[in-house]
Structure 1
Amino acid sequence: MSVTLADIDTLDQAYASGDLEASSKEPLFAHDESLNKRISLYRGDITKLEVDAIVNAANRSLLGGGGVDGAIHRAAGDELYDECKTLDGCATGSAKITKGYKLPSKHVIHAVGPIYDDEEDERCAKLLKSCYDTSLELAVENKLSSIAFSGISTGIYGYPLDAATHIALRTTRDFLTSEKGSSISRVIFTVFRSIDVNSYKKILPLYFPPAPAPSEPKEDAAQPAEESKEKEKTPSAI
């Protein structure tokens, strides 16, 4: 059974239900209600999502592999493999788009993330950012309005989870607030492991914070003169 956009809470709904809480740290950006209605965190099977495109954490051959990559190819059927064979692979940091075939998703965007090397952290960060940028650009070019990301490079490619989450969220926010990003109405970060859920729940409020809590009215320390005098006349009960 497929999962539709209506089945997945947006961030403003998640904050309202208490499923997502404000960070104890100072947010990096101000609250933006319109953005919070365009972002979701979903824990489940990305192959079940009925969206315009799901983003596959692919390898350079684009011909399938383990983990999410293999699951997407199995669910889409042999026709996905056949189309991917015509694409001549994909460079690291880039992405290519195919049809979704037997998937509920109309398209698959195959993004090739970097294999993490801590001695080349800056290069890896640029390549991972490029995966998200290119995927979003492909969605816009193909007039797609909803896109679901899997965790790019955070599995066997070894990218540190929190660092990858920061890149995913910052890149997505920058894109959505740009002119070309206005046509994207929904971005879903799809996770499965509890460690991934915890990372996103910790970092999401820094980039997409909830509305500030209403401030408590301060008591007026200065009492009216007549009230003070009245209190002085009234003996205190002991």
Structure 2
Amino acid sequence: MLTKENCSKEDVTVTHAESQVIIVGLSQAVAKAFEELSNFIDENTEVQKVIGGKPMAVIKFFQNEKVDDWAGLQKNGVKVDFSTQRNCGVISLSGQRTKVLEGVTLVEQILSALHFKRVEIRAPGVKEFIKEEVHLLAPHAKQEFRCLVLLEEQPEGQLEEQKEHSNRGKPYMQVTMGETVIALFEADLCTHHVDVVVNASNENLKHIGGLADALSRAAGPALQEECDELVRKHGNLQPGCAVITGAGKLPCKNVIHAVGPRWSNEEPQRCTWLLKKTVKKCLQLAEMYNYQSIALPAISGGIFAFPLEVCTSSIVSSIKETLEESRGKGSTSAKDREFSVLVKASPCCGRVAGASRCSQGSTDMNI
């Protein structure tokens, strides 16, 4: 599908080489074609988003009473599934990235407008009575008050645990270095709960595709506005650099925008050095703000065409080297810190895990 037809009428040549797309032409034409192809890839990428962390009654009410809303998503090409994970209801949306993200926004808006109250029944015999009469009480409550009554066997604490699990994503591996924890997740950076997240950005901090676009949408317009102001004052960032901004509506405290290198077969060593420099700069910014947890994506591993094995091993080794350097300088702020390396696909998880096993104290999880 990726051909010159996906670009504007610029004088460029687009060819395929194994897992890469090569664009050849004058610099301005190549830059424009690269942006258009990147947008094409982003818009047509198939993704899945899981919305959880809500009581089963809320999910059931949405499923039964908001049929027009989720059926409309399905008509728009988004597959909607309702399932149960660890006794909690979840909603899974899958399809083209842009449509799924729009669907997630719609569903979360509807869910946030729904109210629920959990009533614990402690009086002897009452719970058994309600179990016997629920087939009469539930329809009456629905008819009179348009609300759903659902008996819940799960303790509230278990629900909070599920919510945390949903926000953090699927854990694959954990490595300890002294008092520092490096954890590998397959997760959504927009909902991952850490002090600061790293955004894999371009040089002009325009969040127009991929992870950057997803973070910008979730954070709201304030994130892009702050980045535009930074570029206006200081100019574009160079590969290997990173800056920190506010987080808008994201659950983290700040966002670090890191510009990784674009892969070049002619300069592999320089590309690797720049990527490790980028990761180190991110960790230094987190340390400067005295943050205890940071989440990093596979920087340069997407449209910047970095080979995944080189990308993941460089990120892991850079984290390790930076920690050792901090301890060598007698820094105490590197202690008790948690690093989350986030990736999108399981094959990438395997590569990161393989790069990490050389460290002591590793624990595999669901890999």
TM-score range, shorter chain: 0.7 to 0.9
Q: Please, which of 259, 262, 265 is the counterpart of residue 115 of structure 1? A: 262
> CA contact under 8 A between 1:92 and 1:112: conserved in structure 2?
yes
2:75 alignment counterpart: none
**Residues 34-69 of structure 1 deviation map (CA, whole Å, 9 limit, x = unaligned):** 35x511111110110121110011000112021111
Give the counterpart letter for 2:342 in structure 1.
T
Task: Report the Cα offset of residue 32 of structure 1.
Answer: 5.6
Q: How big is the alpha-carbon RMSD for the aligned residues of Structure 1 and Structure 2?
A: 2.7
Partner-residue secondary structure (3-state), 1:119? coil
Count of matched residue pairs: 194
Q: Partners of 1:20 and 1:143 in 2: how far apart?
A: 25
**Residues 90-122 of structure 1 deviation map (CA, whole Å, 9 limit, x = unaligned):** 211110000111000111100001110011111
* Bigger RCO (CA 8 Å, 6+ sep): 1
1:34 alignment counterpart: 178
Larger strand proportion, structure 1 or 2? 2
TM-score (norm 2): 0.49
1:185–1:157 Cα change, 3 Å: same
> CA contact under 8 A between 1:59 and 1:112: conserved in structure 2?
yes
- Which runs of 5 or more structure 2 residues have no equivalent in the other structure? 1-51, 54-162
Partner-residue secondary structure (3-state), 1:130? helix
- Residues 1:204 and 2:356 are matched in the alignment: yes
% identity of equivalent residues: 31
> CA contact under 8 A between 1:144 and 1:184: conserved in structure 2?
no
> CA contact under 8 A between 1:32 and 1:208: conserved in structure 2?
yes
- Residues 1:43 and 2:205 are matched in the alignment: no
**Residues 64-94 of structure 1 deviation map (CA, whole Å, 9 limit, x = unaligned):** 0211111011111100011001111321111
2:249 alignment counterpart: 102
Q: Partners of 1:20 and 1:112 in 2: how far apart?
A: 26
TM-score (norm 1): 0.73
1:75–1:208 Cα change, 3 Å: farther
Q: Partners of 1:71 and 1:32 in 2: how far apart?
A: 30
> CA contact under 8 A between 1:140 and 1:183: conserved in structure 2?
no
> CA contact under 8 A between 1:5 and 1:51: conserved in structure 2?
no
2:138 alignment counterpart: none
> CA contact under 8 A between 1:4 and 1:49: conserved in structure 2?
no
1:65 alignment counterpart: 208
2:41 alignment counterpart: none
> CA contact under 8 A between 1:95 and 1:131: conserved in structure 2?
yes
1:205–1:41 Cα change, 3 Å: same
Matches within 5 A, 1:1-238: 20=173, 34=178, 38-88=181-231, 89-177=236-324, 178-179=326-327, 180=331, 182-183=334-335, 185-210=337-362
Q: Partners of 1:208 and 1:149 in 2: how far apart?
A: 21
Give the counterpart letter for 1:204 in structure 2.
S
